[in-house]
Amino acid sequence: MTTTVDQITQRRRGTGLIAHDPALSAGGYTLIAPQTDDGNVYLVDIEGRVAHQWKMPVRPGRAAVILPNGNLGYNGNHADSPEIYPAWSLWHGGDFYEATPEGEIVWRFQDPTHHHDARWLANGHLLYAGCATVPAGFAERVPGGTAHGPDETMYGDVIREVDREGRLVWEWKAWEHLAPEDFPIHPGFGRTHWPLVNGLDVTADGLVLMSLRTTSGIVGIDRATGGVKLHIPPSVLSHQHAPVALDNGNILAFDNGNFRTGKHVAFSRVLEIDPASNEVVWQYADELVNAFYTAYMGSAQRLPNGHTHVTESATGRLFEVTPAGEVVWEYVIPWFAEYPDEAARKYVPGRQNSVFQTFRYSAAQLPWLKVSAS
In a domain, 373, yes or no: no
The answer to whether the pTM exceeds 0.85 is: yes
The answer to whether the beta carbons of residues 314 and 335 sit under 8 Å apart is: no
CA distance 59 to 156: 25
Backbone angles phi, psi at 169, to 5 degrees: -115, -15
Is 4 buried (19+), middle (13-18) or exposed (0-12) by CB count in 10 A?
exposed
Backbone angles phi, psi at 78, to 5 degrees: -65, 120
In a domain, 90, yes or no: yes
pLDDT attached to residue 151: 76
CATH code for the domain in which residue 181 is found: 2.130.10.10
pLDDT attached to residue 346: 87
In a domain, 361, yes or no: yes
In a domain, 76, yes or no: yes
Number of structural domains, the chain?
A: 1
pLDDT attached to residue 82: 87
Query: For residue 223, which of 233, 209, 213, 242 has the smallest C-alpha distance?
Result: 209
In a domain, 370, yes or no: no
* Element of type H or E holding 274: strand 269-274
In a domain, 342, yes or no: yes
Give the domain extent around 50.
Answer: 15-365
3-state secondary structure of 29: strand
pLDDT attached to residue 374: 44
What tens digit of pLDDT does each residue of 196-250 get?
Answer: 999 999 999 999 999 999 999 999 999 999 999 999 999 999 999 999 999 999 9
In a domain, 8, yes or no: no
CA distance 291 to 287: 8
pLDDT attached to residue 372: 59
pLDDT tens for the 374 residues of the chain, in order: 789 999 999 999 999 999 999 999 999 999 999 999 999 999 999 999 999 999 999 999 999 999 999 999 999 999 999 889 888 988 899 999 999 999 999 999 999 999 999 999 999 999 999 999 999 999 999 999 997 777 789 999 999 999 999 999 999 999 999 999 999 999 999 999 999 999 999 999 999 999 999 999 999 999 999 999 999 999 999 999 999 999 999 999 999 999 998 899 999 999 999 999 999 999 999 999 999 999 999 999 999 999 999 999 999 999 999 999 999 999 999 999 999 888 789 888 999 999 999 999 999 999 999 875 44
In a domain, 199, yes or no: yes
Instruction: List C-alpha distances in Å: 273 to 23, 144, 253, 279, 287.
Output: 29, 26, 8, 6, 21
